[in-house]
Amino acid sequence: MANFRIPDVRRLPAIASIFVILALIGSVCARPLSAAADSAITVTFIDVGQGDAILVSTDDGRHMLVDGGPKAAGGKLVATLHSMGVEHLDVVVSTHPHEDHVGGLIEVLDSFAVGKVLDSAKAHTSATYEAYLSKIYEKGIAFSAPRAGDSFDLGPVTIKVRWPTEPLPQDINDSSLVLEVAYGKSRILLTGDISGHVERILADTGVLNHIHLLKVAHHGSRTSTTQTFLAQTSPRLAVIQVGQGNDYGHPSNQVLTNLRSRDVLAYRTDEHGTVSVKMRPDGKTFSVHIEQPGNDLRASSSSDVFHRSSCRYVNTIDASRIVMISDREQAMNAGYRPCKLCNP
């Protein structure tokens, strides 16, 4: 963040001093102190199969895409972004150079105007990663490799880079960019494919408390999402981006058990399709929409009761707090209890 120095107005003529002071006051007044209470950001975990693709969107039309899934999903990703009304991307992030994160970005860069690209800059010689870098160079897109401690703004949102540090870890997954998205009091943590080793380092810093929405690292691999990390971050919601019938056994039963033990409401793109979370800046109010509703249950972000979608109590829930749940097991695993009226 830039540091601003107030000029020594005593050395200016009196009339100039007045104008300087007024300008400084005006600039402070013009800056919003916090996000409007009725505004929201939307974090969409796009189903790209076995890979990550996350769109962060603000009410004022700014968009950041974090990863793009595998190359085979590029067409679907572009079509999904168009269907969501996305016309440009202010920021594109590649957390690390593995194909299931960077492959789909090649088609994205061909299809949208992009303001800047952020990348881990971890050395990798795959044909897919080299094609992605060539596309950035060909289009003249600004490119940078942020490190822990850096931050930037996306309209009313501040994105803080929590990892990696120099020198980069030898492991490509552990070199992933980890981003904390801060919107008022709401916090979203996007973890790339980091392992439990990096999670422990981050937990030890003590800066990742009160995370409201967690992108589960490495598609729910058993090497990540440790009890220590969950105890530090205390997420209310978690999303696992994972492909149906994948060859890796993702997500692992241990990760699902860890999430369940913390009463985390967990979503999976292999079961729920694209998952969209809309968050208000108070850190309490959120809504969740899933592409594949299953048994189509409903809850409120301000309650621990879940209902059938036909229950009369659902009509009393404010739209900004509607949480879609696919089945009874998902609800019970997250600590919800069934409505006594509709008995879902």
Residue 21: beta bridge partners?
none
The reply to whether 57 falls in a domain is yes
**12-53 pLDDT, tens digit each:** 233 233 222 223 333 333 334 345 667 999 999 999 999 999
- Asked whether residue 319 is assigned to any structural domain, the reply reads no
Q: 223 pLDDT band (50/70/90 cuts)?
A: very high
- Unique residue bearing structure tokens 């019938």: 245
- Name the nearest CA neighbour of 296 among 284, 281, 306: 306
Domain annotation covers residue 123:
yes
Residues 136 and 109 in one domain: yes
Strands (DSSP E) found in 77-226: 88-94, 113-119, 142-144, 151-154, 157-163, 178-183, 186-190, 213-215
Structural domain containing residue 83: 41-292
Nearest to 50 by CA among 174, 218, 179, 188: 218
Question: Are 4 and 47 part of one and the same domain?
Answer: no
Phi and psi torsions of 268, nearest 5°: -130, 130
pTM score: 0.89
Judged by average pLDDT, the poorest of 30-44, 77-91, 96-110, 118-132 is: 30-44
Q: State residue 15's pLDDT score.
A: 28
Query: Residue for token digits 């950001």?
Result: 41
**In this structure, is residue 314 part of a structural domain?**
no
Note the pLDDT tens digit of each residue in 142-177.
999 999 999 999 999 999 999 999 999 999 999 999
Q: Which 3 state secondary structure label does DSSP give 258?
A: helix
Q: Which strands sit side by side in the sheet containing 151-154, from one edge to the other?
A: 151-154, 157-163, 178-183, 186-190, 213-215, 237-240, 265-268
Q: What is the pLDDT of residue 35?
A: 57
Structurally, the chain folds into a number of domains equal to 2
Q: What's residue 209's pLDDT?
A: 87
Judgement on whether residues 283 and 246 belong to the same structural domain of the protein: yes
Task: Tell me the per-residue pLDDT of 190-206, one tens digit each, with 9 for 90 and over.
Answer: 999 999 999 999 999 98
Q: What is the mean pLDDT of residues 62-70?
A: 98
Of all residues in the chain, the percent with pLDDT exceeding 70 is: 89
